[in-house]
Structure 1
Amino acid sequence: MKAAPPIPQVVADTLLQLGGDDWSLGRDLTSGSRVDVVVVRLRTDLAHLSDEWMWVTGHHPECLYPNADEHLPCMELRVRVAALRRYASAT
């Protein structure tokens, strides 16, 4: 049995600009649309569920101003691990 590749290291405050094929399953999001999310954290506690998808918790970029500390993360969506690797390798 082949070991799963390591989870990409995407740091908090990274802006993910995701195409419609890079994500699925997000509350109040239009399937297949472009989505921007500022990462709060990757749900590594759920990484065992899939080698291809990772849940990401974050904020809409526009809700960070003036102060993101005023509310809890407002987004959670399932993102392709391949998309996260693109951002992890860029940092």
Structure 2
Amino acid sequence: MNERPPHLVSPSIPDLPEGTLLRLAPGEWSHCRTVPDGHAPDVTVCRLHRNVTRQDGAGLWVWIVGHEHPSCTWPHVESHPPCLQLVVRVDVLNRTVEP
């Protein structure tokens, strides 16, 4: 038996450089207390947590942290740690990095 069991195979998650802008629609993200359900947040990515994933009927999800765009990029907003933590569907990330 040369194949690894499915639960031990690392999922394919694209590289998202810091500063990537994600335009998320409802249903493409979850688990963020500061963003109301049904909202379509724009997020500037700070970090992708490749080791924190989950799978459900909608697909594979991964945790990201970042800043709500554009409110955190306005000149009067001081630099601060990432203000959003949410899970995003990996297919959405793939769509973002495709040429």
Q: Which has the higher strand share?
A: 2
Match of 1:82 among 74, 91, 94: 91
Note the 1:12-91 alignment, pairs <5 A: 12-47=18-53, 49-50=54-55, 52-61=60-69, 62-66=71-75, 70-90=79-99
Q: Distance in 2 between matches of 1:78 and 1:46?
A: 9
Q: Distance in 1 between matches of 2:74 and 2:89?
A: 27
Q: Which has the higher helix share?
A: 1
Kindly report structure 1 stretches of 4+ aligned residues shifted beyond 3 Å.
1-5
Q: Distance in 2 between matches of 1:88 and 1:68?
A: 28
TM-score normalised per structure 1: 0.82
How many residues are treated as equivalent by the alignment? 89
Q: Measured at CA, do residues 32 and 80 of structure 1 come closer, stay the same or move farther in structure 2, by a change above 3 Å? A: same
Q: SS in structure 1 opposite 2:16?
A: coil
Q: SS in structure 2 opposite 1:46?
A: strand
Q: Measured at CA, do residues 53 and 68 of structure 1 come closer, stay the same or move farther in structure 2, by a change above 3 Å? A: farther
- Aligned sequence identity (%): 35
Q: Distance in 1 between matches of 2:33 and 2:83?
A: 10
